[in-house]
Amino acid sequence: MKLIVGLGNPGPEYRDSRHNAGFMVLDEIARRHNLTWAMAPAQLPDALVAKKFGAEPVLLSKPLTFMNRSGDAVAALSRYYDVEPVDLLVVVDDIDIPFGRLRTRASGSAGTHNGLRSVVERLGTQFPRLRVGVGRGDARRDLADHVLAKFEPAEREQLESIITRAADAAEMFAAEGIVKVMNTYNADDAESATD
């Protein structure tokens, strides 16, 4: 089984914020496959889950533990469903990547992302991750305010295609693994950087 987890914050006040890019990607995958979100089993930390069955079952999850405690839910889900770190993909927003770019890695540090830091604290660094670039915004603005704010109108015009690409990358991970995703999407973003 593959486990794809999108990080974000629960609640309507965060719904369309940059920090919820992970939730947006998972919602797009669920929409494509007509999946319904349900609460995770009672013995696990609060999280929404949706299961997709095919050649290899895929479990989608959106932890409801708030960003800074995401590791609690991700670790519990991994244990409960017996998912090895190599079969886990964590999808997050990233301020250190320009808006609209994707970056995938098979492992690595948390960087400046508190949700990813929480997952690393619970699972170590050896799990794949997909970072969705939300940029740093205005240098005079507090970074926390930036990630918790909703996307600007000009960004919203591009957001659907960005979320679609990220969902495509996550589904590619489920079917073909992280190396194929890195070769496809990291190369695409390197090419677009030189355009």
Instruction: Indicate which residue of 19, 33, 113, 146 is catalytic.
Output: 19
User: 115-152: b or e for each residue (b if 16 or more CB lie within 10 Å)?
Assistant: bbbbbbebbeeebbbbbbbbbbbeeeeeeeebbbbebe
Structural element, H or E, at residue 158 = helix 153-176
CA neighbours closer than 13 Å in the CB half-sphere of residue 133: 19
As a dihedral over the C-alpha atoms of residue 160, residue 163, residue 166, residue 172, rounded to 10 degrees, the angle is -70
Residue at token pair 């005079």 = 140
Q: Is 113 annotated in the active site? A: no
Residues belonging to the active site: 19
